[in-house]
A and B are shown apart, each in its own frame.
Chain A
Amino acid sequence: MKIDFPHRQFAHCESGVTANLLNYHGFSCSEAMVFGIGGGLFFGYVPFIKLNFLPLTTFRTSPGSIFTKATKRLGIEVKKEQFRSPVAAEKKLDLLLEAGRPVGAQTGVFWLPFFPPAYRFHFNGHNLVVIGKEGNDYLISDPIFEEPVRCPAADLRKARFAKGALAPKGKIYYVEKMPDQFDLPQAVEAGIREVCRGMLKTPVPLAGVRGIRFLARQLSKWPVKFDEKQTLLYLGHVIRMQEEIGTGGGGFRFIYAAFLQEAAEVLDNNKFLDLSKHCTEIGDLWRDFALLASRVCKGRAAIQGSFDDLARLLNQCADEEEILFNALLMAIKK
């Protein structure tokens, strides 16, 4: 059986899943809007947490929080469940599907056969919507892909019970009840306020604008601290976190700029159009950083000198983001 689920392709898995689920339940919205309301934008550099043996760099909030916060701010009732046993997890999923309910699920990427092989790493923060089952195959709406895909039950089971950092533990989530009406402006403002706070006021120096500056300082030390191979691996890892499938480009800065453009309409305030433009320019800066960094990785730019330029670009990103988020705070205060 298959639920008649309108699949739309998006840039990012979790905001895409949330947008598609809300759309199915009668609240049509864009991915950017969900990303913004859910306060998805962030920056963090945490050298003591390692992903694939390399320091964690993130351009977004933690997995699961976009769905949780976006639905909460819109007054939507949702249900989330995790499981100990894969058998129970599968039974519950099948029950929900039989009842005609599309189900969001957190999975690892490594075990999903429909992923391009080059992207199959042990990353457990992926999200998709299960929309049906035919024989031993699940039908899946994964917003990263153009069309819905099929996945053998055994593979999905492995993916739902992937191990290691961010282990999903069979996590599923779905909409229980939609409210009669939405207070969109209030939800948009709450989302913006959270991102501004995260970027400007996080007390630890690893997060937000300070986190970007911290990365800039650390990065300029890499060529001294590590051998050439390790230095380039560290650098390549930052590019991957910034640009790999699911950010929409520029470490989510472009999605956020798209959100600010929509926010201008929702809040009936043209100031957000200028702020959106600024956010786009910041995204372009991040792209410049990635391009130069990739040239260094490929050996087309000398390590000496380039790392100073890279650190300078990062500091420029930090300065511009500080200006942007302060201006955003001002804009929602009025």
Chain B
Amino acid sequence: MKKEDVPQQFGLNAGCQEVNYAVDRDGRYLLAQSAGWEAKTIALQQAWEAIVEQLHQVLAEIRAGEKSSLAYYMVKNQMDPALLSQYSGISRWRVKRHLKPRVFNKLDAVALAPYVELFGLNIEQLRRVPEQPDLPLVEADQIEIDRL
């Protein structure tokens, strides 16, 4: 990559510049800052879109009474029952049970404490889910991406 080819397209870097390696006119390597590259941004955006889609799905399931609100926060934090189990210290089969609204709604503060601590929410928040997926960063950058 030549220095003048180092991409300066917008990315999802929140203003952080990253280092690319490129050659100058004499073919010598130097470190050049890049604001972002279209190809990268598309791939990253795609990964977030997949998460948002999962969130829509899980919200629909919660509304249908098939899943508890815990499922939403699990997906929002890019976890599956196995990872959530490791983080919360609650065994996997119990985590899976907690994803059922019937079981989850009966849990008391003590049982919910590991989730509260992990997600940085209070019990009230943990029991509620938003109408729409709340991942602000994806929306904020949506306008820019659409220009690609």
Stretch in A99-107, A118-126, A321-329 touching the partner: A118-126
B46 in contact with A144 (CB, 8 Å): no
A118 in contact with B18 (CB, 8 Å): no
A233 CA / B44 CA spacing, docked (Å): 10
Q: Does B110 touch A at the CB level, under 8 Å?
A: no
With A122-B78, A232-B46, A254-B1 given, is the CB distance from A116 to B16 under 8 Å? yes
A294 in contact with B1 (CB, 8 Å): no
Least CB distance from B148 to A in Å reads 7
A255 CA / B37 CA spacing, docked (Å): 17
Measured between beta carbons, the chain B residues less than 8 angstroms from A75 are: none
With A116-B13, A163-B87, A240-B43 given, is the CB distance from A258 to B29 under 8 Å? yes
Q: Please report the number of residue pairs spanning A and B whose Cβ atoms sit closer than 8 angstroms.
A: 122
Measured between beta carbons, the chain A residues less than 8 angstroms from B16 are: 116, 144-146
B40 in contact with A11 (CB, 8 Å): no
A277 in contact with B27 (CB, 8 Å): yes
A243 in contact with B21 (CB, 8 Å): no
A90-124: CB near B (< 8 Å → 1, else 0) gives 00000000000000000000100000111101100
With A118-B13, A122-B83 given, is the CB distance from A261 to B28 under 8 Å? yes
Picked from A116, A245, A294, the residue with its CB within 8 Å of the CB of B43 is A294
A163 CA / B82 CA spacing, docked (Å): 10
B29 in contact with A11 (CB, 8 Å): no
Instruction: List residues 21-73 of chain B with CB under 8 A from any CB of chain A.
Output: 21-23, 27-29, 31, 34, 37-40, 42-44, 46-48, 50
A144 in contact with B40 (CB, 8 Å): no
Instruction: List residues 135-163 of chain A with CB under 8 A from any CB of chain B.
Output: 144-146, 163
A12, closest chain B residue (CB): B19
Least CB distance from B104 to A in Å reads 22
Stretch in A37-45, A279-287, A302-310, A311-319 touching the partner: A279-287
Report, nearest first, the 6 A-B pairs whose CB atoms are least far apart.
Answer: A118-B12, A294-B39, A254-B21, A258-B29, A116-B14, A163-B86
Q: List 9 A-B contacts (CB under 8 A).
A: A9-B19, A10-B31, A32-B21, A52-B78, A53-B80, A116-B14, A237-B43, A254-B21, A287-B39
- B-to-A contact residues, CB < 8 Å: 1, 12-23, 27-29, 31, 34, 37-40, 42-44, 46-48, 50, 77-80, 83, 86-87, 136-137, 141, 148
